[in-house]
Structures are given as C-alpha cells and as structure tokens.
C-alpha cells in the first residue's frame, strides 16, 4: 500500500471536493441572485402600478398619503426625495414636483409674514395660509406634510426650522437667528393668552424674576423685532403682543 | 381670539390689523415702526378717498366726534391713536409727498394727496371739457361747490389752485381775477 499515494489521492479528493463545493456555492448564489433579481423586478412593476393608480389619492388625501409614507419608511424607501435623489420614484409618483411646490409655498408665506412676526410663525397659521395659497382643489395639507417639507428646505441654509415651544405648540422659524430658551417660553405663554404677554405672567406662572422677564421681553421687542408694544392697556399699562402667537383672520 | 376685518357704519372695510391693540401705539423697534407706519398711511389715504376727506388734523386725535373717528379710534378694543403718533404719521406723509402742510408754516393740519395734484389737474380739465365749460370763466367756488355733484365737489381751494397752476403750465387753464375772488378759464388741451 502506498501511503504516500494514498495521501496524495486523498488530497486530490479533498481538492476536488472543495472545488466542487466552491462551484456548488457559487451556483447557489447565482440562483439566489437570479431569484432576487426576478423578485425585485416583479416588486418594482407592482409598485409602479400601485403608484400610478394611486398617485392622485396620494396627492389629494392626507390620510392615504400618511399611510403610504409609513409603508415606504418601513421598507426603507423615501418616495418624496427630489428628482436628484429619488430618480425613479419621483418620476413614477411625480411627488418631487408636489413636494417642491409645497416648499416654495411655505417659503412664500414665511417671507411675506416676516416683517410682521419677525421670522417666527405659528404652525397652525402657516398651514392655514399655505392651504389658502393652494386653494381647495389641490387637496388638504397637514402639519405633517409641512414638517416634512421644511426638512427638505434645510440645505437652503436659510434657517428654516420647526421649533417645539412646549404644550404641544409648534412654531416655524425662517430666519437664521436662534430662538433662545426664554423666548420659546414667552412664545408658549403668549399663545395661551391669544397673543399677549406681560412680566407678571412669566413671574407668576414660570417663577421668573422681574429682571429676567423684563430683559427677555425688552430684547424681543427692541433687539429682535419679535413683538409689538401696546401702551394703552387698562390693567397692565404696557403689554407685549407677539404677532406669531396672534391669530389673524386674513 | 382671532383678529378680523370689520365694516364700519359708513361702509368702510377696516383691515384686521386695526383690531390689534398694539397698532395704536407708536412702536420703539425701527423695522416694526416702519412696517406699521406703512399700514397706517395706507389706511388713512384709503379712508380719505372713501369718504372724500381732504384734511387731517392732529386735533382729530385729540377730540372725539370728528370725521376720522372710525379710523383713529377702535371702541371695540378701547384703543385710539394718540396725537403724538398722528403728528408723527403726518410728518412722514409730508416727507413722502403724500400730503402737504396746509396752510404752510404749521404742522397741525395736512392736505391729503389721495390723488396727486397732477391727477387732480387731469380730472379738472376732463370735467370742464365734458360739461362744455371750456373758454368760459368759472369762479373757484363754482368748481368746488357745483349745483350737481361732480368729481371736484368739496375740493379744498388750495388744492384746486395747485391743479389749475399745473394746467396753466401746459396752457390748458388761466387764472383770472374776478369781482369777489379768483376765477379760471379752461382751454382745449
């Protein structure tokens, strides 16, 4: 018995075996890959069909749009990315245009009210005014739509940002200047009253000192142009009004 | 509490900003001041055109019961524009050529240009032509207080005189002295 040859033979067998295994595994991968390819193609066709069929509903019905977007997030797809990023999606859905149009309208409202409110607008008012711009036929716009659109405006570097001022109230800031914490509190308290605020409210409800309240309000008034002065108030004498916390009917 | 527009008894639609208490206070912040001043001036001129008011006086903010109450006061929110602020608005309008101090050398009353003197000149000449009164002599009184309501009814004499002076530069009118005052003759233009 030639042990050497036995080993040699065995070795040859091992090599052959592993080669066979190698071939087999690449064959498996190829099969898997082929399968995947075909599944993806099917998926893409189905999704395409779905999107085209329901494009109008997506644009006009906020509840449907919300559900559609939830579904897309769960499979890791962003249907509202612009033509640059979305490519195929944007083409199929035409959502790139829709999104862009909404973004332009948001900027329009923010810029046109900036003189009045100093560059900070209450979310409800923004949604109302954008809806008015769009008209009735184009479907309802929700706060969620606006928030998503504002995210896409961030690369503009113009400071568009959604601010949570507490008590479930949101403001949208469209100027680069940061809103400091005290101003956020003042905005929240002013909203409770319907747009006006005085030092006494901040002292009583928030435990601020007189100096802190006075300084914050005076800065908002004189330095930042974020509020207006009313010097004829029967009770307090001087009252500060914050246009972005006031509800305008026009 | 929503701020809304409001229609006055005389049928004028007030903008919603007129329902905001701070609108009646002169603002310390420069850009807010500029923004609200623009709104006030527009409101004043639009109201003047609506009611055909030609003169605005500081007194209109001092004493209630005048012709400007619907604008200068808001009883619903218990606010009024203070005389100091109105005086400041008048000065800005004069600087922007939207009004003139009339008589001159005082600052308590202005003549409002809700229509510029040049535009009044054209209106005047068109009226004289349309009513077949070219080449006849008319007294200032006959123009500002005609028996039938005209586009010139109620025009203050100083403004009328300005309009006629403008017409005379293009030979469309000539001022003539008449027995008890001033008169004018209009020519084809």
Contact A222 B31 (CB under 8 A): no
CATH assignment of B6-112, among 3.20.20.150, 2.60.40.60, 1.10.10.570, 3.20.20.120: 1.10.10.570
Categorize the per-residue pLDDT at A2 as very low, low, confident or very high, splitting at 50, 70 and 90.
very low
Contact B35 A194 (CB under 8 A): no
DSSP A180: P
- pLDDT at position A54 is 80
Helices (H) and strands (E) in chain A, counts: 10, 7
Nearest CA in chain B to A234: B78
Say yes or no: A222 contacts chain B, CB-CB below 8 A.
yes
Contact B16 A239 (CB under 8 A): no
Residue ranges of A 107-136 with Cβ closer than 8 A to chain B: 115-116
- For chains A and B, CB pairs below 8 A equal 60
- pLDDT at position A4 is 47
Say yes or no: A225 contacts chain B, CB-CB below 8 A.
yes
Look at the pTM and tell me if it is higher than 0.80. no
- pLDDT at position B66 is 94
Q: What percent of chain A has pLDDT over 90?
A: 20
- pLDDT at position A78 is 62
Instruction: Give the residue, A129 or A90, on which the prediction is more confident.
Output: A129
Contact B22 A230 (CB under 8 A): yes
In chain B, which residues have their Cβ closer than 8 Å to the Cβ of A221?
28-29
Contact A228 B35 (CB under 8 A): no
Categorize the per-residue pLDDT at A5 as very low, low, confident or very high, splitting at 50, 70 and 90.
very low
Q: Which of A230, A237, A239 would best serve as a mutation to test chain B binding (most B beta carbons within 10 A)?
A: A230
The pair of three-digit structure tokens given for residue A8, joined into one six-digit string: 């040699």
Contact B16 A250 (CB under 8 A): yes
CA A195/CA B139 separation, integer angstroms: 56
Please check whether residue A162 is in contact with residue A147, taking contact to mean a CB–CB distance below 8 angstroms: yes
- pLDDT at position A157 is 61
Nearest CA in chain B to A118: B32
Contact B15 A250 (CB under 8 A): yes
- How much is the ipTM here? 0.86
In chain B, which residues have their Cβ closer than 8 Å to the Cβ of A234?
78
Q: A149 to chain B, minimum CA–CA distance in Å?
A: 27
Contact B21 A233 (CB under 8 A): yes
pLDDT exceeds cutoff 70 at A39: yes
CATH assignment of B117-186, among 3.40.1190.20, 1.20.140.160, 3.40.50.720, 1.10.10.10: 1.10.10.10
Pairing relationship of beta strands B2-3 and A247-248 according to DSSP bridges: parallel
Instruction: Give the residue, B152 or A174, on which the prediction is more confident.
Output: B152
- pLDDT at position A40 is 80
pLDDT exceeds cutoff 90 at A80: no
In chain A, which residues have their Cβ closer than 8 Å to the Cβ of B35?
115-116
Contact A225 B5 (CB under 8 A): no
- pLDDT at position A6 is 44
Cβ within 8 Å of residue B74, ≥6 positions away: B18, B19, B24, B80
Cβ within 8 Å of residue A210, ≥6 positions away: A199, A203
Categorize the per-residue pLDDT at A28 as very low, low, confident or very high, splitting at 50, 70 and 90.
low
- pLDDT at position A13 is 61
- pLDDT at position A77 is 64
Of B3, B29, B78, nearest to A234 by CB-CB distance is: B78
Say yes or no: A74 contacts chain B, CB-CB below 8 A.
no
Categorize the per-residue pLDDT at A30 as very low, low, confident or very high, splitting at 50, 70 and 90.
confident
Categorize the per-residue pLDDT at A174 as very low, low, confident or very high, splitting at 50, 70 and 90.
confident
Beta bridge pairs of residue A233: A237
Mean pLDDT by groups of 10 residues along chain B of 189 residues: 86 94 96 94 96 96 95 96 97 96 95 96 95 92 91 94 95 87 89
- pLDDT at position A82 is 42
- pLDDT at position A246 is 83
Of B1, B25, B35, nearest to A230 by CB-CB distance is: B25
pLDDT exceeds cutoff 80 at A86: no
CA A196/CA A184 separation, integer angstroms: 14
Q: What is the mean pLDDT of residues A142-153?
A: 85
Contact A221 B28 (CB under 8 A): yes
Pairing relationship of beta strands B181-186 and B99-101 according to DSSP bridges: unpaired
Average of per-residue pLDDT values in chain A: 79
Q: Where in chain B is the domain with CATH 1.10.10.570?
A: 6-112
Of A230, A231, A248, nearest to B16 by CB-CB distance is: A248
Q: What sign does the CA torsion over A25, A29, A30, A31 have?
A: positive
The pair of three-digit structure tokens given for residue A37, joined into one six-digit string: 């390819």
pLDDT exceeds cutoff 50 at A84: no
pLDDT in tens, B46-68: 999 999 999 999 999 999 999 99
Q: Where in chain B is the domain with CATH 1.10.10.10?
A: 117-186
């Amino acid at each position: 018995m030639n042990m050497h040859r036995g080993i040699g033979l065995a070795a040859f067998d091992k090599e052959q075996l592993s080669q066979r295994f190698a071939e087999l595994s690449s064959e498996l991968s190829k099969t898997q890959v082929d399968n995947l390819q075909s599944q993806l193609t099917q998926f893409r066709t189905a999704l395409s069909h779905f999107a085209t069929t329901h494009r109008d509903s997506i644009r006009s019905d906020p509840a449907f749009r919300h559900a559609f977007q939830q579904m897309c997030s769960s499979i890791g797809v962003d249907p509202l990315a612009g033509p640059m990023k979305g490519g195929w999606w944007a083409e199929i859905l035409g959502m790139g245009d829709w999104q862009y149009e909404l973004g332009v309208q948001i900027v329009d409202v923010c810029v046109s009210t900036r003189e009045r409110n100093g560059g900070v607008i209450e979310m409800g008012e923004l949604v109302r005014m954008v809806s008015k711009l769009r008209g009735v036929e184009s479907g309802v716009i929700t706060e969620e739509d606006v928030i998503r659109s504002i995210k896409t405006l961030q690369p503009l570097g113009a400071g568009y940002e959604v601010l949570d001022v507490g008590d479930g109230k949101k403001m949208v800031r469209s100027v680069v200047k940061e809103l400091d914490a005290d101003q956020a509190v003042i905005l929240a308290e002013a909203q409770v009253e319907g747009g006006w605020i005085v030092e006494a409210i901040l002292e009583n409800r928030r435990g601020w000192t007189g100096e802190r309240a006075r300084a914050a309000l005076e800065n908002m008034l004189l330095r930042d142009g974020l509020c207006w002065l009313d010097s004829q108030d029967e009770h307090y004498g001087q009252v500060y009004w914050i246009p972005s916390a006031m509800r305008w009917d026009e | 509490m929503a701020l809304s527009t409001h229609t006055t008894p005389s049928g004028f639609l007030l903008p919603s900003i007129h329902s905001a208490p701070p609108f009646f206070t002169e603002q310390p912040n420069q850009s807010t001041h500029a923004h609200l001043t623009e709104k006030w001036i527009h409101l004043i001129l639009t109201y003047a055109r609506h009611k055909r008011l030609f003169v605005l006086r500081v007194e209109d903010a001092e004493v209630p019961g005048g012709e400007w109450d619907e604008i200068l006061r808001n009883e619903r929110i218990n606010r009024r524009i203070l005389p100091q602020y109105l005086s400041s608005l008048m000065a800005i309008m004069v600087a922007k050529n939207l009004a003139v101090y009339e008589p001159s050398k005082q600052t308590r009353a202005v003549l409002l240009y809700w229509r510029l003197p040049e535009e009044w000149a054209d209106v005047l000449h068109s009226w004289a032509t349309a009513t077949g009164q070219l080449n006849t002599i008319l007294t200032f009184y006959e123009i500002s207080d005609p028996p039938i309501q005209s586009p010139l009814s109620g025009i203050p004499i100083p403004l009328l005189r300005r309009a006629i002076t403008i017409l005379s530069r293009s030979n469309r009118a000539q001022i003539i002295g008449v027995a008890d005052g001033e008169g004018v003759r209009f020519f084809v233009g």
